[in-house]
């Protein structure tokens, strides 16, 4: 078995495990938007790929210098058929990290029950949440608590409308996401990022914009389709609509659409343990799955904590919420490019 740099990580036998955030179109998106260097490796045995790894090198004046898989995604970019192949690629990643002097390496994939090898640490704070989609939405509704069933039904009576689409609703989806992220105290990408994403991912991507009864944008999401799964990449509700069950309407609309498409799983996306996002997602009776977030740390560096629960960011989050849109929208892409 040997490890080699390759032009593509999208091997058919490994694509599902790599997830959309590990495939070439996604890595190309990050490279085109932010100019980051990408490294693609494969472990080859008997002329066949038995493992693949896609890494992106992040250099940012605020958030540091590191390597990561699945930039701006929950997980993906690392797949293997044996522990031997896995460890060969992890050794290669470590060598690369030492060579280019990164502070750490972050490997994110979906096998949280596995144990990292020596010199790698697991961050046990991230889960994803999987809803098994039946053939009829009513079957799923029966699995919810009575309170949650009531909230879903109430959401259907509020006059919300949802529009699924592509580049024709680019302006509205950007407005929904940029404004909601601002309200949460977080930076967001540029509109061009969403445009490039739609162009590169094609029909595997779908935007969804939620409007209230008066036609006002109330939320939205970016959803990726791969095999029999729909992935929630981003989904946010604006402050003015949160008390009217807009989140329930958005998720239920995606569930119904997924069932109509014959899909089997709705991946709600990652959340931090104990976060408000996790509380909301658990209302949908999902399978909660620990993600493997493995880190190699250079000497003198600690496990990274680039998330909203880090006390170091609380003052910045509060200040960001108060800044006007004409400041946060051009500045946001500069900041979020380091939070891959």
Spell out the per-residue pLDDT of the chain, length 340, in tens. 999 999 988 888 898 889 999 999 999 999 999 999 999 999 999 999 999 999 999 999 999 999 999 999 999 999 999 999 999 999 999 999 999 999 999 999 998 888 999 999 999 999 999 999 999 999 999 999 999 999 999 999 999 999 999 999 999 999 999 999 999 999 999 999 999 999 999 999 999 999 999 999 999 999 999 999 999 999 999 999 999 999 999 999 999 999 999 999 999 999 999 999 999 999 999 999 999 999 999 999 988 888 877 888 899 999 999 999 999 999 999 999 999 9
Please check whether the two domains, 2-124+291-307 and 134-263, share a CATH topology.
yes
* Alpha-carbon gap, residue 68 to 339, rounded angstroms: 10
Long-range contacts of 312-317 (CB under 8 A, 24+ apart): 316/185, 317/185, 317/186
Residue of 94, 14, 106 whose CA lies nearest to 52: 14
Place of tokens 């790599």: 18
Instruction: Please give the torsion angle defined by the CA atoms of residues 249, 252, 253 and 257, in that order, rounded to the nearest 10 degrees.
Output: 180
Domain boundaries, the chain: 2-124+291-307, 134-263
Q: What is the CATH number of domain 2-124+291-307?
A: 3.40.630
* Alpha-carbon gap, residue 56 to 63, rounded angstroms: 14
pLDDT at 10: 81
Is 76:109 a contact under the CB 8 Å cutoff? Answer: yes
pLDDT at 193: 98
pLDDT at 311: 84
| Helix (H), strand (E) counts: the chain | 11, 16
* Alpha-carbon gap, residue 292 to 274, rounded angstroms: 18
**CATH class of the domain defined by 134-263:** alpha beta
* Alpha-carbon gap, residue 12 to 41, rounded angstroms: 15
pLDDT at 201: 96
pTM for this model (two decimals): 0.95
Q: What are phi and psi of 19, to 5 degrees?
A: 60, 170
| Residue 27 CB coordination number (10 Å) | 26
């Amino acid at each position: 078995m040997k490890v080699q740099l390759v032009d593509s990580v999208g091997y058919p036998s490994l694509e599902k495990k790599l997830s959309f955030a590990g495939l070439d179109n996604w890595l190309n998106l990050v490279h085109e938007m932010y100019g980051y260097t990408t490294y693609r490796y494969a472990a080859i045995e008997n002329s066949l790929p038995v493992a693949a790894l896609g890494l992106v090198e992040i250099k940012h004046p605020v958030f540091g210098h590191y390597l990561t898989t699945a930039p701006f995604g929950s997980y993906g970019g690392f797949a293997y058929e044996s522990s031997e192949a896995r460890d060969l690629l992890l050794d290669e990643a470590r060598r690369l990290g030492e060579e280019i002097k990164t502070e750490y390496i972050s490997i994110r994939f979906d096998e949280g029950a596995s144990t990292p090898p020596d010199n790698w640490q697991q961050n046990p704070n991230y889960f994803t949440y999987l809803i098994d989609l039946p053939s009829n939405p009513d079957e799923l509704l029966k699995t919810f608590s009575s309170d949650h069933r009531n909230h879903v039904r109430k959401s259907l009576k509020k006059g919300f409308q949802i529009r699924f689409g592509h580049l024709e609703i680019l302006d509205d989806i950007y407005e929904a996401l940029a404004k909601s992220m601002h309200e949460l105290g977080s930076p967001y990408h540029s509109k061009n990022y969403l445009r490039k994403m739609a162009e590169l991912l094609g029909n595997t991507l779908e935007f969804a914009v939620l409007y209230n009864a008066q036609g006002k944008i109330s939320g939205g999401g970016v959803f990726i389709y791969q095999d029999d799964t729909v992935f929630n990449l981003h989904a946010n509700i604006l402050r003015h609509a949160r008390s009217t069950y807009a989140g329930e309407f958005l998720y239920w609309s995606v569930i119904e659409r997924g069932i109509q498409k014959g899909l089997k799983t709705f991946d709600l996306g990652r959340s931090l343990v104990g976060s408000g996002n996790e509380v909301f997602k658990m209302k949908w009776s999902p399978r909660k799955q620990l993600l493997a977030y493995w880190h190699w740390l250079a000497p003198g560096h600690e496990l990274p904590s680039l998330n909203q629960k880090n006390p170091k960011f609380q003052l910045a989050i509060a200040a960001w919420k108060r800044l006007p849109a004409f400041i946060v929208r051009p500045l946001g892409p500069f900041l979020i490019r380091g939070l891959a």
